[in-house]
Every structure is written in structure tokens, then in C-alpha cells.
Structure 1
Amino acid sequence: MQDDRYTTEDLLHLMAQLRNPDGGCPWDLKQDFSTIVPSTIEEAYEVAEAIESKDFEHLHEELGDLLFQVIFYAQLGREAGHFDFSRIVDTLVHKLVRRHPHVFPSGELYGDNSGESIDETRVNQNWEAIKAEERGAKGESGTLDGVALGLPGLTRAAKLQKRASRVGFDWPDIDGVLDKIEEEIGELREAVAAGDREHAGEELGDLLFSCANAARHLKVDPEAALRGCNRKFERRFNAVEASLHSRGRTPAEASLAELDALWERAKSGE
């Protein structure tokens, strides 16, 4: 510890102590790669939430929780002989240098990197070409190969659509996407009317996929859009509930018409 602040080395030491069979933490000792994945996903979303709510006072704490997940995986990897934290960092730096030839034309982090500047379009083209080469080196030759299965559904849908778009499989503009959404709504209505729950679920999936496509065309993150909608719903419903509580009542005791009226009041008050 230097200057009264702990360092990355201190964090690595702490993690090793937590996993020490002789006196370590029983909970940490029970964990493996798969059991901490849910925590990793949760911590990533808490970082996103802090950023979206502009809670910069606590963002550093949330980032620390996310970093701890990486440290945990590094410890598990070291114990199993797969990799350690230094290899994670080394692999990352090499990859980022390779993917930014416009910044590191020498191919070295500390080499002669006084290359010419290029515009953002060229940067993006180079980035995608380099990533394609990396996927090829992994044996991922298909257009859609390498889009992680563990991504949230809307995010994965948008990424699959983006990949397909690169080879020309895409609507030329958002009008076609909106028409498709209307078509999917019609098909969902038909499935519901037929009482076919399984088919209705499939049509609902098609509708959500088309909505993700609309978000992509609008250059909007579909997950962020949905999180924003969730927050808006919470805010308005909380206002409805607070209004009823001020009268000594609960939402369950109110009629739908009354709830709708209070909802519209909360909506107009924003």
C-alpha cells in the first residue's frame, strides 16, 4: 500500500487470501467460473445504471465491484493453471494495439507511433476488418459466428442484424422496419385470436426482434431504451401509488379507471 491507497497488487493479494484453503472465506472458496457469472452480469448492469442515472459519486464503487469480478476470474484461472491476471492484461494490450493501427502504426505500444491521422470511417473499417481476421483465426468463418449467446436478447438481436447488414442483408431505411413491425403485430393478433399460445410466443419473439432492428436503424441501444422505459414506468406508478397512499388506500383497492386517471396525471406532470 502506497500513499494510503491500495493498488492492483493489493487487490490480487486480497483475492488470493480469500481463496486460501487455510483460513480463506468459505463462500469464495466454493465458487468456480460458472457460479460467479450471474454476479458479473449484475455488476455490469449496476455500472450501466450508475452511468445512466449520472450517479458519479458511486460510479467508482460500482466499477470496483466489476473489476473484482475480473480479479476473481484471474485467481480461478491461476489456480487451474489456465492464465493469471498478468496474462489477461498482456492479451488485452496486444489486442488493442493490433486493433488501433492508426494510433500504433509500428505495431508496438511504445514504438514509433507518429503515423498519419485518418478519419472515423476508415478507423471503423479497419476495426471491423481486424476483428474479422481475429474471428477467422478462431475458426469463425460465418457472418454471424462469434456473437455471444450469453448477451441479453435485444442486444444479441441487434448484433446479429448488424452482422447481416454488412453483407447487404438489411432494410434500406427504417420505413421498411416499421412496416415489418406492423406486420408482426398483425401476425401476433392472429395467433392470440386463434388461442395458439406457442405460436403467439413465436410471433412475439419476431416482434421484439423487429423492434431491436428499429433501434439499430435509429442508432439507439435497445437495452438502454428499455431500461429508460422501465424507469419511466416505475416513476409514474410510484406517483400513482403515492397518491393513493395519501388517501389511505392501495392500488389494489382502486378501480382500473381510477388508476388510469392517476397514471395520466402522473404522465402530464412530468
Structure 2
Amino acid sequence: MGLSREVAALMRRVAQEVVLSRYRLLGAADIAEKSPGEIVTAVDREAELRLREGLARLEGDAGIVGEEACADDPRLLDGIGRGLVWLIDPLDGTANFARGEGAFGMMIALVADGEPVASWMLDPLSGRMCHAERRLGAWIDDRPAHIAPPDERRRPVAALATQFMAASDRLRVERSAARVFALEPIPRCAAESYPRLVTGRNQLAVFQRILPWDHAAGVLFLAEAGGRATHWDGEPYRVGSGRAGLIAAASEDAWRRAMHALSAPLSAIDRYEPLAA
């Protein structure tokens, strides 16, 4: 079994045994606040431990950086853009999972010197696996994935993650985007946001907070399927670059339209990178 299938099998096993076995069964003692307004569950922690153990067996020469380990020790992010590193988001969309509704997922990326080289995103409920390898392509459940052609009968749709912006910044960004795009609420789960760009539901996603485990996997999947993702300043996405934000688009045209509409309001926003997700 090749590495890609071994990682996928590991994720499916952990999703079944740890995540789905506790879905809608969490008690109050299973949920804690790790920062103001941000929660972590016992499932997040157990799933990350299981994934960490499995990845260490598959590729022992790579470092391993998980979301919950970093919440406990932010120094793990030092030098994140150097060398070979596994990035783990054991339960993306934790708040949705804890409520028992909405999208949630599991994400893993293998990163070499800040550039994602392989990625996996699993939807535990549907079983959908999105996978990509640098310069080799993207797949959804082993079928080649390509950006869905736009529906010319409707306006392109954007989902803007503005929830961490100041109210005045949020208003400017949303007003500017609405001149070009129809707006819909975000799924509050990056593991769902990126597949929506590839399958045609959305043509644009904008993120302010870009912790590496939230986006490395999705950016590679989007790029290999034919989309484009850059930092707000237009520079290519790199893990550990220190640059602000992400504009992720389903096409070059959507990216250019977004940059034209949003460059001014986004450039005025301070970068936001707390160690919580």
C-alpha cells in the first residue's frame, strides 16, 4: 500500500473509532474552552494522538505538528516552514461537531520547506476523501477532481470568513465583495470550504486566520484541481511565510476579480493568528 492510501486508511480508521463513535454523544466533561470563544473536545485530543502515532510509523523522518499540541505549546510552530513536516487538524469544525450539526472534517498535509506536497481531507459523515499530490493532481474518492465549470446564469458565490475582523473591517470587506459576488455563510469548517470551491458551490473563499493545519491541505487540493490560492498580497501561499490572509478562488478570473475588489479593504486589516482554531 502506497503512502497516500496508508494515510487515508489511518484517517478513516481514526474517524470511525474516535470521531463518529462520539458524535452527538459528548458530555459536558468532554468539552473545554481553550481560548475565549474557542472550544476543544476530548475527541480532538484523542484523534490527534492516534493520528500522530500512525503518521510517525509511516514517515519517521518528518516532524509532526498538530493543532492541539500547538495549543498547549505554541513553540512547536517555530521553524514550521523548514524541513519535512506532517500537519494535523484532527477535527476541523469542532464547534459544529460539538453541537451535533454542520460540517466537520479531518485534515492532514505533508509539507516540505513550507510547500504542501500531499494532502488529505476526510468528511467522516459522508466518507468523502479529498486527496492531492503536488504536480500529480487531485482526487475525490479516487476519481480525478477538476474545478467544476461556472454556471453562467448566476453570479459567482463567495463565502467570507470575516468573523474575526473588527466590525468596521467586516462591513467594508463584505460590501466590496458583494459588488462582484453573491455572498453565502461560511461552513465554519475549512475541510468543507475547499471542496466547495472545487465542486462548484462556491467560487471564492476569503480567510483572515490561516493557521497551517487549517489550510495547507486545502490549498494544495484546490491548486491541483485547477484553482488558485494566495495570501492577501497576491504572493503564493507558503506555510510559515508570515504573510496575512488567504484568497482562495475556483478560477484565475474569480481570483483576479476578488483581488480587484478586495485588495484595498484587506490591506488595511491587521493580521490575526491566535493559536486556536
Q: Which has the higher helix share?
A: 1
Q: TM-score, normalised by structure 1?
A: 0.27
Specify which structure has the bigger relative contact order, considering alpha-carbon pairs within 8 angstroms and separated by 6 or more residues.
2
Q: Which has the higher strand share?
A: 2
